[in-house]
Each structure stands twice: as C-alpha cells, then as structure tokens.
C-alpha cells in the first residue's frame, strides 16, 4: 500500500509539474518569459516549456485591437467649440516592449490617443475638420505611431467618426452656405451680362464701320411694308440733305 501511495503521489506531482511547465501559444500569441525575474526572451507560437517557480511567462495577443476614443471637447483654431470622437486601430509588434516599458499599454495608448486628438485638431479651423478628415486622421496616426513606438505599439489607422456642433453653429453654417450660393449666382449673372454687352459693342462696331447699318434699315423696312396697316417714315441720310442744299 505504501508503494502504491508513493507512486500515486509522484504521478500527481508530475501532473502539477506539467501543468506549470507546459504552455501552448496560438499563432497570434507570443510569450514574454522571465527567469528569476529577469527578461529571458519572447517565445511562441506552439509548445513552450517553462521551469516551474524559476520561470514565468506573460501572454501577448498580436491581433489588431481597437480603441473607441470618447468625445473630446475641442476648441478649433478659429475659436469654435466642437465635440469629436474617433476609433484607433493598433497592434503589438514588440511584445517585450509592451510589457517591460509600460505598466498597461492598452490604457496608455487610449489616454495618449485622447490627448493627441485634442492637440492635432485644435491647430486647425472648423472648415478643415469638415472637409479634410482623411488628412487630419493621417496626421494623428503618424504622431501616435511615433509616440507609441517605445511601447512596442504600431498604430495602423485612425478614423474620425463624428464631429458634433452646437445647434446655433449649424444654423450659422447654413446661412453662410446660402450666402455663398447667392454670391456665386450674382457673379455668374454679372459675367453673362458683361459678355452680352461685349458682343453688342462688337456688333455695333462692325455695322457702323462696314455700311451694313443701311442694309439692316432696308431689311426692317421690307418687313414693315408687308403690313399694309403700317405707315412708313423713311429717314433721309445727312449726306443726301447736304447735297440738296
């Protein structure tokens, strides 16, 4: 009985040992290992063997993560208050940095995203926020990526979701757009009148210089003569009167 109990004890201890010593990491996981508290390297994916008590390991997921940046109160360069929220897409590319250089890389990245969002958008006017989202998103991504490199983080994309304005500002923008449309309509109308006036001047110049005005008179008289109820008064040219006198 004593031998059987001993064998059972050894079997149980072996199971416990294997439970602590064997780790299986998936394709998208890596293990940051430590030996007696000292960094020992990154392992995985696949089967990992650790020495119980002596070695420890922290799992890191390498898949793309998202951060939903809550609405931030931003004062634009032209002193307009807006609320902007965004989504940040990032992934861990250096597991050892994400564990050794920062206590909580997810929270640190989230906090940095909020401050960077306010910093970048606060340097631009409202029109830029409404019409140049792609460029602003790229600027935020580039700045974030540079700052999170020390944490082993790669920021892949930044998407500005919503830009909320006060109701009074929305009405003001509507009035501004209406005024701009009226201004463009007046400019187009004025340009049309100017072109018409130029054509009239050109036509009058040609008629006066080529003697074609008399032909136009005769054509008009012929049209009037077809109407028998009309009385025709023919003007005499000044040259003809001078010859008579």
Where b means 16+ CB within 10 Å and e means fewer, 15-27 reads: eeeeeeeebebee
pLDDT in tens, the chain (245 residues): 456 776 666 766 666 777 778 888 999 999 999 999 999 999 989 999 888 888 999 999 999 999 999 988 888 888 888 899 999 999 999 999 999 999 999 999 999 999 999 999 999 988 888 888 899 999 999 999 999 999 999 999 999 988 887 666 655 565 666 666 677 777 887 787 777 777 766 766 665 555 555 556 556 656 666 666 656 565 555 554 455 55
Q: Which residue has the tokens 């940046």?
A: 69
Q: Strand, helix or coil at 86?
A: strand
* CATH superfamily to which 65-170 belongs: Band 7 domain (3.30.479.30)
Residues 6+ away with beta carbon under 8 Å from 57: 23, 31, 32, 33, 34, 43, 48, 50
Give the model's pLDDT for residue 225.
Answer: 60
Rounded CA separation 102/23 (Å):
24
Contact 66, 89 (CB under 8 A): yes
Opening angle at CA 123, ends 118 and 127, nearest 5 = 100
Give the model's pLDDT for residue 2.
Answer: 55
Give the model's pLDDT for residue 138.
Answer: 93
Give the model's pLDDT for residue 194.
Answer: 78
Give the model's pLDDT for residue 79.
Answer: 84
- Cis peptide, bond prior to residue 45, ω within 30 of zero: yes
Contact 89, 64 (CB under 8 A): yes
Give the model's pLDDT for residue 107.
Answer: 94
The predicted model scores a pTM of 0.66
Rounded CA separation 214/240 (Å):
14
Rounded CA separation 160/138 (Å):
10
Contact 154, 90 (CB under 8 A): yes
Q: Strand, helix or coil at 46?
A: strand
Q: Strand, helix or coil at 74?
A: strand
Rounded CA separation 38/56 (Å):
10
Give the model's pLDDT for residue 150.
Answer: 95
Handedness of CA 131, 133, 136, 142 (dihedral sign): negative
Give the model's pLDDT for residue 87.
Answer: 95
Rounded CA separation 240/34 (Å):
120
Domain ranges across the chain: 10-61, 65-170
Tell me the H-state helices in the chain.
Answer: 2-21, 95-100, 105-121, 126-131, 133-148, 167-210, 212-225, 238-244
Contact 228, 234 (CB under 8 A): no
């Amino acid at each position: 009985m004593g031998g059987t109990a001993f064998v059972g004890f050894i079997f149980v201890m072996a199971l416990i040992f294997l439970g602590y010593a064997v780790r299986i990491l998936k394709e998208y996981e890596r293990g940051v290992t430590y030996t007696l508290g000292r960094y020992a390297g990154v392992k995985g994916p696949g089967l990992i063997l650790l020495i119980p008590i002596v070695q420890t390991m922290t799992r890191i997921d390498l898949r793309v993560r998202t951060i939903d940046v809550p609405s931030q109160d931003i004062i634009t360069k032209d002193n307009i208050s807006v609320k902007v929220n965004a989504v940040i897409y990032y992934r861990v590319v250096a597991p050892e940095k994400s564990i050794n250089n920062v206590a909580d890389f997810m929270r640190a990245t989230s906090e940095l995203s909020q401050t960077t969002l306010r910093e970048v958008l606060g340097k631009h006017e409202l029109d830029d926020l409404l019409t140049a989202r792609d460029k602003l998103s790229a600027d935020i991504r580039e700045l974030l990526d540079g700052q999170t490199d020390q944490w082993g983080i790669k920021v892949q994309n930044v998407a500005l979701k919503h830009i909320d304005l006060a109701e009074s500002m929305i009405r003001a923008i509507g009035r501004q757009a209406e005024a701009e449309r009226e201004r463009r309509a007046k400019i187009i109308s004025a340009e049309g009148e100017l072109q018409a006036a130029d054509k009239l001047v050109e036509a009058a110049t040609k008629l006066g210089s080529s003697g074609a005005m008399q032909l136009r008179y005769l054509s008009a008289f012929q049209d009037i003569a077809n109407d028998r109820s009309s009385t025709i008064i023919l003007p005499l040219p000044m040259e003809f009167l001078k010859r008579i006198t």
